[in-house]
Amino acid sequence: MLSLESSTSRMSNLARQEMYFDRFFSLDETIEQIESVTAAELSEMANHLFQSDKIAVTVLGNLDGLKISREQLVC
C-alpha cells in the first residue's frame, strides 16, 4: 500500500494492471484476495514449487568451513 503513495508508483501500477489484466484492481479488491488465501492453499503451492529433489543453495561470504548436506536442504 505504501508503494502506491507517489504519483509515479501509482501510474506504473495502473499501467501494469491494464497491460496484464485489461482492468484495474482496487486496493480493497487486492487486500480481499490476499486475505482469502488459506494456509492449506499456501502449503499446497509450496509443496508444488519447492520439490526437495530440485533444491539448490547459493552461499556468499566468509563460509568458515560451512558444509551443507542435501538432507539439510529438505523442506
Domain positions in the chain are: 2-73
User: What are 37-67's pLDDT values in tens digits?
Assistant: 999 999 999 889 888 778 778 888 888 888 8
Q: What's the distance, Cα to Cα, between the start and end of the chain in Å?
A: 31
* pLDDT given for residue 54 in this prediction: 80
* pLDDT given for residue 44 in this prediction: 94
* pLDDT given for residue 70 in this prediction: 78
Q: What is the DSSP letter of 18?
A: H
When pLDDT is cut at 50, 70 and 90, the band that residue 20 belongs to is: very high
Distance between CA atoms of 13 and 19, rounded to whole angstroms?
10
The region of weakest confidence among 14-18, 30-34, 68-72 is 68-72
Distance between CA atoms of 50 and 46, rounded to whole angstroms?
6
CB of 50 closer than 8 Å to CB of 27: no
- Read off the pTM: 0.54
